[in-house]
Structure formats: structure tokens, C-alpha cells
A and B are shown apart, each in its own frame.
Chain A
């Protein structure tokens, strides 16, 4: 009978699925241990020729994601095609929750430094964590291409536009010669590390004005400003540099003349230093010692961050810091 066969089939499928589930669970751990043992031996004996396999699991900041995804893809194409580097983008804080657990992720990307309580968590787990700075991002303020008055602003003027009691509603409140039209300030919402950086380092934890529109998606901000002559928004340099046809960047006058954010000026000792923030990836050092593919990938990342930073909208970090990271990682072998 047709119906009987159908029922039988679905039952068999279910049983097979369950049986297979149990089977692999038993096999997997021992298999992996063997692999890892072999790999570390290989790595010790002859690191260049070794073909690695296994996976490298990365989660964390969505801001750092484009850079990490690019590096991961290049690594899989050019270095170790049998290693699967998996990059997720749950956000800096959510990522740390998956990183700071027993058997957690190998890396966590972060658009801010690790907080004290997160460091304490790592310590209580007895986990060794290494901070690797991967690139620099410049907080960029963007305006509509038709806006021909607010092309240069000081940090104080920018703050007065965004903060609660800045007494700035119209452009003419900043400069009487500018249009008497309402300014529409906007930015990413509290879920983003970019918001945290702006709130803590630029606004000095002063409240934002109620009329600042906070958005979840950067693409929304790009569209809003590109359609609004009176719009002004802030976000990472990458979102500006990929949309230069729709937006123009505000040149910021920190006291020594207006500075345009660019890959040259965004640096911790550069002209745009005040609005420059480093982005990181955190490495689980214990995992790197245990799994050869994690250490190998970590070395690939620190060796190549400056190659790929530019095309993903980040500024490079100084060579000395790269050297120091390479030295640290080589010490783990």
C-alpha cells in the first residue's frame, strides 16, 4: 500500500538520521584528536610543507568582518585549501560570549578593546588570550554632495550638532552665513561598536540629542544622507570610501587646519588621530597551541593585514606592531 510505504520510508529516514547522529558523535572526538596530534607534529617538523586541515572558527564584530572574510578567503585559496575558516558576525559583545567559554571559538573580532569584566572571565577560565590589532578605522562624518557649506567643521561643532544641549538646530546656529534649515543628524544605533566609540570618545559620554536618528543598518544611513541635503551621519571610513559617488566626507579641523579622512591621515599618530580607532581580533592562545591550523591562520592574518586593509576601507597598522605580533606567534610554535 502506498501509505504504508510512505510511513515506513519516513520512519527509516528518522532512524537512520538518529543512528548516524550517535555514530558520528562517538567517532568525532577521537578522530579530531588524532588529526590535531599529527598536525602539531607536522608543524614542528616541517612547517612550510605541512598540509593542514580542520577548521578555524571566528565570530565577533560586523565592522571587522569584511576584512576578516577577505583574509580568510585568500588563506583558503592560496595557503591551505583543506582548512575551513568560518567567519561569523554576531557583534563584538555577542562574539565574546562564544569566545570566553570552554572549547570556545578560536578568534573573536572586536571593534573595541576587551572590557575588564571580559578579561576577568578569561582569567577565571584559565584561558590565555592574545590581543592582535589588525587595522585602524577612522570615524567619518558624511554629508550630502550638495551641501557646500559644512565641508569643514571642528570637533566642537560636530559635537554640538549631536549632543543633547548643544543649542544647534539649524545650520545657521553654527555659522550665521549658512542656511537657516534644520540639520538632520543620524548615526548607527547602540548595537554598534561605532556608536560606543562616538559616545565614549567623541561625546565624552554626554547624552545624544533626541532628534538624532539612530539606525541599525549602515546602508540605511548611506541612503538617507545621499537623499537629504541637510543630513549628516557618522560611521566607519569603509562605508564612506565605497560610496564616494553619493556622499562627501566632512574635513575635520582639529586645530591645525582641516583634515580629510583618508588611508594616509587615519593613524594613531596621524592628522586624523583624534577620530581614529584601532580594531582587533582576539586569539585563544590555548587553541593556537593545540591546533596547528589556528596558529598557521593567526600568522597569516598578522602577516597580511596591511595588504588587505586598504581594499576593505581600513588604514594599515605600523610595521613594528606587525613584527611584534609575528614574533609572539612564532614563540608559540
Chain B
């Protein structure tokens, strides 16, 4: 090998090493971008809100006066909303997934439904709000109560739960089901005793993550028209309600009228973030605890 050729090779190798370093730098920057923004957001929210976060704020009633305002009404509203969303979404979502994955014949119709569910997952949330307003609030005459809001939210997250549950069911190794059929079990017995228990951790993880989306969503509720000022606590799913993210939204847009509302919004964001963190950790724990390897 002559000198010139060796130099050429070294140059090329150096170039590749530089390229590799650049790539790693770019992707590190991409990762950090999100993290830095998140850190800034959390820092600002905590700095603005921590001083206002106390028991009176958490257990108090809503008020137009910042020093009297509390968010128990919104916490209870979120609770009632989720009490509707959770069972409805779990039942319909997992039910649909079982039917599509395990019962339905593979064919044109199944493919058509499948495509539509995937498309529905991309429909903007405000459109679901219009649907909820027309069907639940108006046609079924429920009004703007927690039940109507909950059913609307269920529609919003159903496609995500269905797709996640389908993935989970598909990931169950085929030989498990075949063994069950082999000893004479019916389809439902197989699903009930073999497939679902294996798929359940992943299904629950997907469902819980979708539920946290429903907790943070405002657009469909804006359309249904939940009140901005509602002082009495909601006592059941048939009461008018408001939720934490709505309260954050209203306090933020009014902060140019009353400066302290910005602090109340920040304090509410802390409460909402803690709720979401709790839910997401539950999802992780469920996944780690129940996951079996085959």
C-alpha cells in the first residue's frame, strides 16, 4: 500500500468518525430540547404556584377572589368524569379489541373497520366535543353534566385503547391459544383463561395512559359548554361539573384582569401534574408486576 492510498483511507475514516460524532450530537440535542423545555416549564410553574398550594386551596370552593379560591370542585368534577370514562372505555375498548382480534373473520369488512379506528385516533378532540354536544348533551337530553362529558371523553380515547389492546392481544404467543384449543376449550374459555390474563398488563398500561389523556383534555368540554363559574361541589355524575384543566385555562386567560390568577393556575397545574404522575406510575407498576415472559 502506498503512502497516498493510506492517507486517503485515513482521511475517509476520520470523516466517518466526525460524521458519527455529529449525528450523536444532533440526536442528543433533539433529546435535550424536550427535556430543557420541560424543566423550564416545571421550574416556572413551581416558582409561581408553590406559594399558593395549601390545604385551603385544595379543599376550598371556587371563588373570583384569589385568596379565597379553591379547586375541590374541579377535583371532584375530574373524579366524577373519570368514574364515567374508566368503566365505559375499558369495557367498550377491550370488547372491541377482543372481537376484532379474536372473533371477527379476517376480510374486507374487518380491514375497513380497522382502518377507520386508526383514522379516528387522529380526529381532533374538538370534533369529538361537537359529537358529544349533539348526541349526549342534546339528543339524549343529558345536558352538560359529568355523564355527558364522560361519554364524550370515552369516545375520544376509545380508538387509542382499542388499538393498544389489539396490539397487546396480538403479542400473545399463538401456541398458548392453540394448546388451550387442543385440550378442547371453547374460544371464550381460551380468551378468558389464557389469552386475556397474558395480555392484560399491556392492555391496562395502554388504557391508563389514555385515561391520563382524558384527564388533561379541555377542548371537548369547552364545546359541551361546562360553566366557568360553578361554586357548589358536584355530588354525582348527573351534576354540572368543571375539571382541573378547564380551571387552568380560565385562570390563565383572566390573568391580565387579576394578576394572582396566574399563580392559581400554576398551583392547579402542580395538582394536575401530580395526578397524572400518579396514574402513569400506576401504569408502570402494573406493567412490571404482571408481565410474564414466554
Contacts and interface: CB of A to CB of B under 8 A. Distances in A.
Interface of A: 1-4, 10-11, 13-14, 17, 20-21, 24-25, 55, 57, 59, 65-66, 68-70, 72-73, 76, 84-90, 98, 217-219, 222, 238-239, 242-243, 312-313
B91 A11 contact: yes
10 contacts: A3-B196, A10-B87, A11-B91, A17-B87, A20-B236, A21-B238, A73-B65, A218-B253, A218-B257, A238-B257
A17 B228 contact: no
B88 A87 contact: no
Contacts of A65: 228-229
Given A4-B192, A242-B256, A84 B88 contact: no
Given A13-B87, A86-B240, A87-B228, 4 more contacts: A4-B192, A57-B227, A65-B228, A88-B229
Contacts of A73: 63-65, 229, 231
Nearest to B230: A86
B274 interface: no
A65 B228 CA distance: 9
A171 B270 CA distance: 45
A313 B63 CA distance: 18
A219 B91 contact: no
Contacts of B259: 242
A239 B257 contact: yes
A17 B256 contact: no
A84 B192 contact: no
A87 B229 contact: yes
A8 B240 CA distance: 29
A66 B254 contact: yes
A218 B193 CA distance: 58
A17 B229 contact: no
A88 B226 contact: yes
A69 B225 contact: no
A87 B192 contact: no
B227 A66 contact: no
B97 interface: no
A84 B87 contact: no
A17 B84 contact: yes
A25 B254 CA distance: 36
Closest 9 CB pairs of A and B: A219-B256, A86-B227, A87-B229, A13-B87, A69-B229, A222-B256, A88-B227, A84-B232, A89-B228
B184 to A, nearest CB: 19
B91 A14 contact: yes
B200 interface: yes
B110 interface: no
Given A14-B91, A59-B225, A86-B230, A243 B64 contact: no
A72 B256 contact: no
A15 to B, nearest CB: 10
Contact of A218 (B84, B142, B200, B256): B256
B147 interface: yes
A219 B258 contact: no
A243 B90 CA distance: 48
Contact of A24 (B238, B255, B256): B238
A59 B226 CA distance: 10
B257 A313 contact: yes
A312 B51 CA distance: 25
Contacts of A13: 87
Instruction: Count chain B CB atoms within 10 A of each CB in A55, A86, A313 and give the residue with the most.
Output: A86
A20 B142 CA distance: 13
Contact of A10 (B91, B227, B238): B91
A70 B254 CA distance: 13
Interface string B33-72: 0000000000000000000000000000001110000000
Interface in B212-231: 225-231
Given A14-B87, A21-B147, A73-B231, A242 B225 contact: no
B177 interface: no
B209 interface: no
B50 to A, nearest CB: 22
Contacts of B267: none
A143 to B, nearest CB: 16
A65 B64 CA distance: 11
B225 A98 contact: yes
Nearest to A9: B87
B286 to A, nearest CB: 12
B192 A3 contact: yes
Given A3-B200, A10-B87, A24-B238, A66 B231 contact: no
A242 B200 CA distance: 54
Interface centre among A55, A59, A88, A90 (most CB of B within 10 A): A88
Nearest to A88: B227
Contacts of A3: 192, 196-197, 200
B74 interface: no
B228 A217 contact: no
Contacts of B253: 217-219
Contacts of A217: 253, 256
B237 interface: yes
B141 to A, nearest CB: 8
Contacts of A55: 240
